[in-house]
Amino acid sequence: MPRKIAAGNWKMNGTAEDLLQLTALSSAHPDPTVDVIICPPATLISQARTNAGKIGIGGQDCNTAVSGAHTGEISASMMKAAGATSIIVGHSERRTDHGESDALIAKKAQAAYAAGLVAIICIGETLAEREAGTTLDVMDVQLAGSVPDDATAANTVIAYEPVWAIGTGKVPSTEQIAEVHAHIRRVLKVRFADANEIPLLYGGSVKDSNAAEIFAVDNVDGALVGGASLKAVDFSPIISALEKA
């Protein structure tokens, strides 16, 4: 069985005072039976690490280089040194706002591996692609292009995040999630011997009210959560739902 993961992406939200949320989350889950990860802005990784107890800390993006003349960029190894153990790559907001290609995302995942970090690689279709009936084709292209050949169950997590479900309150049906997750698993099995162990997360408007239903879907090993990860009171029941799933 893949390990279960509840990951929170704070995006460009949070200053030091918001780490109280992490302290509260850690107090509510001192010994979680699933992996819990919070990805705060890079400015908070180091402080977050000291507030997080058994909660893992992740980054939200990285440069492909280890160091050098890349103003404003942060490398995977720098985030590792600050206390991160994983890093999100290929989030749809990076793909859209920064024009990131699958090839670039694969290089970022490899930079994460080289730094000893787990890459949480995001894929997902737009509403237009869903309506055109091309969702599974989009998954094929994104999996082929953004998951490196040296991915393993130990260094990689795949997050299926339909772009139209992120931050919108819209959630695919459990049948739609099941179809895509089963497809992702099939595609990974062709390339990776340990594909059955690679955690597959669903992301997109996950909240307390829908978490249990989503976690009951085959091949859903957890969630990547945006808005509902910002407050301990919202994220804690999602963690509990995953622990019970």
Question: Annotated active-site positions, please?
Answer: 91, 161
Q: Which residue is nearest to ligand PEP (CB)?
A: 226
**Single residue of 51, 205, 219, 236 touching ligand PEP by CB under 6 A:** 205
Alpha carbon distance 46, 49 (integer Å): 5
Instruction: Find residue 202's DSSP bridge partners.
Output: 160, 223
Alpha carbon distance 185, 195 (integer Å): 7
**Single residue of 39, 55, 76, 224 touching ligand PEP by CB under 6 A:** 224
60 near ligand PEP (CB under 6 A) = no
84 near ligand PEP (CB under 6 A) = no
Which amino acid, one-letter code, is at 106? Answer: A
| Contacts (CB under 6 A) with ligand PEP, residues 144-163 | 161
171 near ligand PEP (CB under 6 A) = no
**Single residue of 2, 148, 204, 222 touching ligand PEP by CB under 6 A:** 204
Which residue lies nearer to ligand PEP by CB, 34 or 214?
214
225 near ligand PEP (CB under 6 A) = yes
Closest CA to 42 of 56, 24, 62: 62
Residues 6+ apart with CB under 8 A from 167: 205, 226, 227
**Single residue of 2, 4, 5, 9 touching ligand PEP by CB under 6 A:** 9
Question: Considering the complex, what minimum distance in angstroms separates the CB of residue 230 from ligand PEP?
Answer: 9
227 near ligand PEP (CB under 6 A) = yes
The three-point CA angle 140-226-239 to 5° equals 100
**Single residue of 81, 167, 173, 244 touching ligand PEP by CB under 6 A:** 167
Which stretch in 18-26, 113-121, 224-232, 236-244 sits in contact with ligand PEP by CB under 6 A? 224-232
DSSP state of 56: E
Residues 6+ apart with CB under 8 A from 225: 6, 7, 8, 9, 203, 206, 235, 238
